Structure 1
């Protein structure tokens, strides 16, 4: 069961056990797809312009209630650094609501990013996610062009 903040939020698009969840902005090609094989309760929450109205923010937040996992999703043209910054900023603004969650960053770009392996923004965010998640790190940050798909 998700906490009331997410369960009763006006920005919640749904909280249910659907098998497939797709995050997509109208008119854009980028897509984040989640396969829910284990029938978990998953919430899709619109962040940009709803949950967070000011400053930098990501597009969506996907919450897996049973796992206490939160996936910050940004659909972006090609600016990976900016997308990482938007996710970092969203985590800061929602830190009280997501204290007990494991956090992950998911970025779907419209074309392949120019890898900037030592990007200070990425290093900082990875460090922050590691601190929050403790030993269970999983894939902290994933980015891909066009479609990013995973099972949760």
Structure 2
């Protein structure tokens, strides 16, 4: 089953300067320095209402730049975070044809999982960001 993200209402959208995603003591900050049109979705609990499928926490879609940011705010289980992001991409990315995909994991607790072989392979393959507690970037 796939989800057409255009069928869902973002919980925040517009040309705001900052889009912040917070959960589990973690925070991702998307700085909209060019004031482009952004849609911010809470994936877990709003787009995906049932608990059957693994999914990430948030999705930021920059419609002007054609970019999408899949964000997981995690306690410490980075392998699970990878599964959640990849499953969400598999289900939503087809509705964002032509959009670049960026993966973000921000974790709360100190974790040796950052150096686990599956995490390192995934990180290298997708050139992704895995940061502790808070991460701020231009979107």
TM > 0.5 between the two?
Answer: yes
| Aligned residues of 1:13 and 1:45 also touching (Cα < 8 A) | yes
TM-score when scaled to structure 1? 0.77
1:38 correspondence with 2:34: yes
Of 63, 66, 86, which aligns to 2:64?
A: 66
In structure 1, the gaps of 5 or more residues are 130-139
Say if 1:29 and 1:76 are closer, same or farther in 2 by CA, change over 3 A. same
Distance 1:122 1:97 in 2: 28
1:107 correspondence with 2:105: yes
TM-score when scaled to structure 2? 0.84
Name the residue aligned to 1:57. Answer: 55
- The structure that is helix-richer by fraction is 2
* Pairing of 1:10-21 with structure 2 (within 5 A): 10=9, 12-21=10-19
In structure 2, the gaps of 5 or more residues are none
1:72 Cα deviation after fit: 0.4
Name the residue aligned to 2:135. Answer: 148
RMSD: 2.0
Aligned length: 133
Name the residue aligned to 2:74. Answer: 76
| Aligned residues of 2:6 and 2:95 also touching (Cα < 8 A) | no
Distance 2:8 2:13 in 1: 10
- Offset from partner CA, 1:32-62 (integer Å, 9 cap, x none): 0111111111110111122223310000101
| Aligned residues of 1:108 and 1:144 also touching (Cα < 8 A) | yes
Name the residue aligned to 1:23. Answer: 21
